């Protein structure tokens, strides 16, 4: 039997405690399957939700103790970027293999970290950084390695998917469902990170980088959230045979890379439209396998911790075999040109809030036609009120023209346009 593998853990939050539970509760079955054990050797954390779970370990006085010679793999589970980056880079210099669930770290400093890992001959496990318990990183970097990936369309934020699903099912407002999500623990008390699309953007930066061999960071992702979506939008979409989802999209076309997060109308028979609640789904289209879709819980202590432990086991097996290789060689990360989203064309849904009076639609249609935007369908809801929603679905148009038209309508027709205009793209 091979010697046991020792791990050090930095961070005992929700995920860290899940890792402790799995490694301790399933220690015997892991040892039987691997032929060696995985031991929690040292732990460092400023706070802990699960100190009572830990046994047979040393609680370190500082994180540098996790870099001792008898530790093989260190887990970075603290989140954030500054301290995490410093710790990970120091650990790599000490020839420690790394497992991290930190999407913000990898979305902003991934190239630096993988470069240093390659130089030092260590491996980075980061399955848990995207989609929790869905093993999408291994699918892309291993199972689809021989495929040329064409595009990825993904639901990678369970909070947003829960909110949009509940709005569809209950017909309640965004605010009501958000408050319910906070009470039920599906959303943070400050939900901005999720509902403004930041969380999804970080995950899509990682997926785009490994799918298209490209140097992609969070700043390269075009981001819109779901804060302005109302039940009116979801109901109108439903009447037309669509569902509204916050989608991350990454695709390569003519050597230009598009990475975007935004709400979309999706045809209701699309597999992604059927994924509801807190579930994540990633649909990958590649040249040899066509479309494959992966669905599962995208967050939570045990699903995410399970992905962390899977990375630990992969690296532990490599250590035992003496065949450790970096999960990604930095040579594959090429500088790429990104698509200018203003040059894209799509069908669009636009919700104007307008004064209920004669000539409003005519004024709006005149501006739209000026920018070569034709109306496919239009509905006005709630006649008789002072301000009513005017819902417009367009034929295919250029995004730059849509934005210019909306800006002109809001600026030059303030007497009839009230509140903010909502724009949602229709997924082709």
Question: Annotated active-site positions, please?
Answer: 203
Q: Are 376 and 347 in contact (CB under 8 A)?
A: yes
CA gap 223, 262 in Å, rounded: 6
With b for 16 or more beta-carbon neighbours within 10 A and e for fewer, the 164-175 pattern comes to bbbbbeeeeebe
Query: How is the beta sheet containing 124-125 ordered, strand by strand?
Result: 58-59, 38-48, 5-12, 73-76, 97-100, 124-125
CA gap 46, 10 in Å, rounded: 9
3-class DSSP state of 35? coil
Beta strands in 49-126 (DSSP E): 58-59, 73-76, 97-100, 124-125
3-class DSSP state of 215? coil
CA gap 92, 90 in Å, rounded: 5
Q: Which of 157, 128, 186 is nearest to 306 (CA)?
A: 128
Q: Are 99 and 315 in contact (CB under 8 A)?
A: yes
CA gap 347, 300 in Å, rounded: 36
């Amino acid at each position: 039997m091979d010697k046991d593998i020792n791990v050090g853990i930095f961070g005992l939050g929700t995920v860290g405690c899940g890792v402790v539970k799995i490694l301790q509760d399933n220690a015997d079955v892991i040892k039987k399957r691997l032929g060696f054990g995985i031991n929690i050797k040292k732990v460092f954390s400023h706070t802990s939700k699960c100190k009572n779970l830990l046994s047979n370990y040393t609680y370190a006085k500082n994180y540098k103790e996790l870099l001792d010679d008898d530790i093989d793999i260190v887990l970075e589970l603290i989140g954030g970027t500054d301290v995490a980056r410093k710790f990970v880079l120091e650990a790599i210099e000490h020839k420690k293999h790394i497992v991290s669930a930190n999407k913000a770290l990898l979305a902003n400093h991934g190239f630096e970290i993988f470069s240093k890992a390659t130089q030092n001959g260590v491996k980075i496990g980061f399955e848990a950084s995207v989609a929790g318990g869905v093993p999408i990183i291994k699918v892309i970097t291993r199972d689809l390695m021989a495929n040329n990936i064409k595009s990825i369309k993904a639901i990678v934020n369970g909070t947003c998917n829960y909110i949009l699903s509940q709005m569809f099912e209950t017909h309640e407002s965004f605010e009501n469902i958000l408050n319910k999500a906070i009470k039920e623990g599906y959303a943070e008390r400050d939900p901005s990170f999720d509902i403004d699309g930041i969380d999804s953007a970080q995950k899509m930066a990682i997926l785009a980088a490994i799918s298209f061999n490209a140097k992609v960071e969070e700043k390269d992702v075009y981001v819109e959230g779901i804060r302005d979506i109302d039940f009116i939008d979801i109901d109108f979409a439903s009447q037309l045979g669509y569902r509204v989802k916050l989608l991350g999209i990454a695709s390569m076309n003519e050597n230009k890379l598009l990475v975007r997060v935004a709400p979309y109308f999706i045809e209701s028979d699309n597999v992604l439209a059927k994924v509801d609640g807190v579930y994540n789904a990633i649909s990958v289209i590649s040249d040899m396998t066509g479309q494959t879709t992966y669905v599962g819980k995208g967050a939570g202590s045990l699903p995410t911790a399970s992905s962390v432990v899977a990375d630990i086991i992969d690296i532990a097996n490599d250590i035992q075999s003496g065949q450790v290789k970096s999960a990604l060689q930095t040579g594959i990360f090429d500088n790429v040109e990104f698509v200018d989203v203003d040059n894209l064309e799509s069908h669009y849904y636009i919700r104007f809030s307008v004064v209920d009076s004669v000539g409003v639609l005519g004024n709006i249609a005149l501006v739209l036609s000026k920018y070569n935007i034709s109306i496919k369908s239009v509905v006005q809801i709630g006649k008789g009120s002072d301000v009513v929603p005017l819902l417009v679905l367009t034929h295919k148009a250029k995004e730059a023209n849509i934005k210019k038209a909306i800006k002109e309508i809001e600026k030059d027709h303030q007497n009839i346009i009230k509140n903010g205009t909502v724009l949602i793209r229709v997924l082709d």
